[in-house]
Amino acid sequence: MSQSSLSREEGIVNKFKSRFTESVKETKIDRARRITVTCDKDHILEIAKFTRDEIAFDHIIGICGVDFPTHKKLEVLHFLGSVTNPDMHGIILILKTELPKENPSIASVVSVWESAHFHERETFEMFGINFEGHPDLRKLLTLDNWEGPPPMLKDLKFPEMSQR
């Protein structure tokens, strides 16, 4: 991939840099078509609205939680894509947010992207992350009688899980 072909990605990064100073901590072009934007969790809704309205990322491909027990933190990754803007086709924009391990909570982006509905429900169930403002935050995939901790956390080791 030649250097000039990254112009689309650089354009997006520059828009983020000029619009946000405090709430966007880091912007990084991972490779062609992949951009990671590290955000402050209190401003996620504002950044989400900007991402949808100004640079036309119109749908959520997925939401992913990651547990880092050694750093005592969780990460939430929003993977975004665009179908309306042909210039943004093929780019995955990742909004990365860090949350504390105790009572993790972040604003729900369902009001911005309706496609986030089931993804947020799954992340809530698997990581115990509370999505504030989600219209219908219930468990989705695990058994009705599952009473253990959120199953995707790293503290839950595999053999213990299979004995249940």
Partner 1 sequence: MTSNPTQTDVTVSETKDPATLDVSVGPQHPGSGHVRILMRVDGDYIVSIDPDIGYVHRGCEKIAENRNYVSNIPHLERPCIIDAIHLNWAYVLPVEELQGVQVPPRGRYISTIAAEMNRIMSHLYWLAINAGVFSGHTTIFMWAFGDRDLFIELAEMLTGARLTYSFLPPGGPRRDLPFGFEDKLTKLLDYFEKRLIEYDRIFFSNPLVVARAKGIGILTKEDAIKLGVAGPVLRGSGVKYDIRKVEPYGAYPDLEFTIPTFEEGDSYARFLVRFEEMKQSISILRQALKKIPQGPIARKAPLVAPEGEAIGRVESSRGECAVMVMGDNSDKPYRVRVMNGSFRNLVAMPYLIRNVHIADMPIIYGSLDYWPVEADR
Q: Which of 5, 25, 26, 84 binds partner 1 (CB under 8 A)?
A: 84
Report the site for partner 1 in 93-112 (rule: CB under 8 A). Answer: 94
Residue 161 as a binder of partner 1 (CB under 8 A): the answer is yes
Residue 79 as a binder of partner 1 (CB under 8 A): the answer is yes
Q: Which CB atom, from 22 or from 147, has the smaller least distance to partner 1?
A: 147
- The contact pattern for partner 1, residues 138-157, with x = CB under 8 A and - = no contact, is xxxxxxxxxx--xxx-----
Binding part of the chain for partner 1, among 8-16, 20-28, 87-95, 99-107 by CB under 8 A, reads 87-95
Q: Which of 6, 29, 77, 137 binds partner 1 (CB under 8 A)?
A: 77
Q: Which of 19, 33, 73, 101 binds partner 1 (CB under 8 A)?
A: 33
3-state SS, the chain, equals CCHHHHHHHHHHHHHHHHHCCCCEEEEEEEECCEEEEEECHHHHHHHHHHHHHCCCCCEEEEEEEEEEHHHCEEEEEEEEECCCCHHHCCCEEEEEEEEECCCCEEECCCCCCHHHHHHHHHHHHHHCCEEECCCCCCCCCCCCCCCCCCCCCCCCCHHHHHHC
- Paired strand residues for 95: 37, 78
Contacts by residues 50-53 (CB-CB < 8 Å, ≥ 24 positions apart): 50/19, 50/20, 51/80, 51/93, 51/95, 52/112, 52/113
Min CB(147)–partner 1 separation in Å? 7
Q: Which CB atom, from 45 or from 61, has the smaller least distance to partner 1?
A: 61
List contacts with partner 1 (CB under 8 A).
30, 33-34, 58-62, 64, 66, 77, 79, 81, 83-84, 89-90, 92, 94, 113-115, 117-119, 125, 128, 135-136, 138-147, 150-152, 158, 161
